[in-house]
């Protein structure tokens, strides 16, 4: 967003809707959700009713699940009465508050549909143009500060919430390679189909895809090596 052209690319899209936007919050990588029963293969998703909206829900439908778009307040009762078999939300800190662990003990990762969840502050474009430059810069700086603060808070609080959830009997599971590969294939097909028919989507998707591929090579080098080493070394 900041150094790869993402903000400018998105604002070209937002311009048609009369707004300008800047990142103002992020959850970091999210968890894959709470499941009543374990899921080990793509076949286990067939007919599974899961609360997951948006593009993630569309991908889930492609691998056989039945996505449900439920607001936060309706998820727990739906899970409790068996109207849904699984749900995703955010991560340990936010999920613990909603009490999903009391019903579904299988907690999966990673949330491949939300490697992060970014939020924006949006301003009417006409009103933005009327603001003096220093005022514009103040809003951009405040949004950047909010973005940093939110992800820092999630990173710090998730670790403590995860400890409490594990103590409450929650079972952590990593999605199998089969599930990850099948989901990636379904997601990529969906994006390519959308890009072929939606010029606005394509204008964002293509530069994002290129940047992601290049950036992944760097993260796979030093960042990933350090993360994996310490994750194993300091595992408790």
For 140-206, list the strands marked E by DSSP.
171-174
Contact 190, 59 (CB under 8 A): yes
pLDDT at 42: 97
Round to whole Å and give the CA distance between 36 and 90: 17
> How is residue 15 written in tokens?
């311009």
Q: pLDDT 10s per residue in the chain (236 long)?
A: 999 999 999 999 999 999 999 999 999 999 999 999 999 999 999 999 999 999 999 999 999 999 999 999 999 999 999 999 999 999 999 999 999 999 999 999 999 999 999 999 999 999 999 999 999 999 999 999 999 999 999 999 999 999 999 999 999 999 999 999 999 999 999 999 999 999 999 999 999 999 999 999 999 999 999 999 998 888 76
- At 156 the pLDDT is 97
pLDDT the model gives residue 236: 60
Q: Give the pair of three-digit tokens for residue 6.
A: 């993402």
70 φ/ψ angles, rounded to the nearest 5 degrees: -115, 140
Q: How far apart are CA 147 and CA 216, in angstroms?
A: 22
Domain limits of the chain?
19-197
Per residue in 68-80, is it b (16+ CB within 10 Å) or e — as a string? bebeeeebbebbe
Mutual orientation of helices 6-15 and 199-218 as an angle, nearest 10°?
A: 170
- Tell me the CATH class for 19-197: alpha beta
pLDDT for the residue 235: 74
């Amino acid at each position: 967003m900041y150094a790869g052209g993402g903000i400018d690319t998105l604002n070209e899209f937002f311009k048609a809707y009369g707004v300008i936007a800047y990142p103002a919050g992020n959850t970091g990588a999210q968890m894959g959700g709470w499941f009543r029963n374990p899921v080990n293969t793509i076949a286990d998703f067939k007919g599974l009713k899961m609360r997951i909206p948006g593009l993630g829900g569309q991908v889930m439908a492609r691998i056989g699940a039945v996505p449900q778009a439920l607001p936060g307040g309706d998820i727990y009762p739906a899970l409790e009465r068996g109207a849904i078999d699984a749900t995703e939300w955010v991560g340990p800190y936010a999920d613990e508050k909603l009490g999903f662990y009391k019903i579904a003990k299988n907690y999966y990762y990673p949330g491949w549909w939300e490697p992060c969840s970014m939020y924006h502050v949006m301003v009417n474009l006409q009103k933005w143009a009327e603001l003096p430059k220093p005022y514009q810069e103040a809003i951009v700086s405040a949004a950047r500060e909010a973005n940093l603060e939110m992800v820092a808070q999630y990173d710090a609080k998730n670790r403590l919430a995860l400890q409490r959830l594990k103590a409450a009997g929650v079972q952590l599971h990593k999605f199998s390679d089969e599930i990850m590969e099948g989901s990636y294939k379904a997601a990529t097909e969906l994006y390519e189909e959308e890009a072929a028919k939606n010029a606005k989507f394509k204008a964002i998707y293509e530069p994002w895809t290129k940047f992601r591929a290049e950036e992944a090579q760097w993260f796979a080098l030093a960042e990933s090596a350090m993360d994996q080493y310490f994750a194993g070394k300091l595992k408790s």
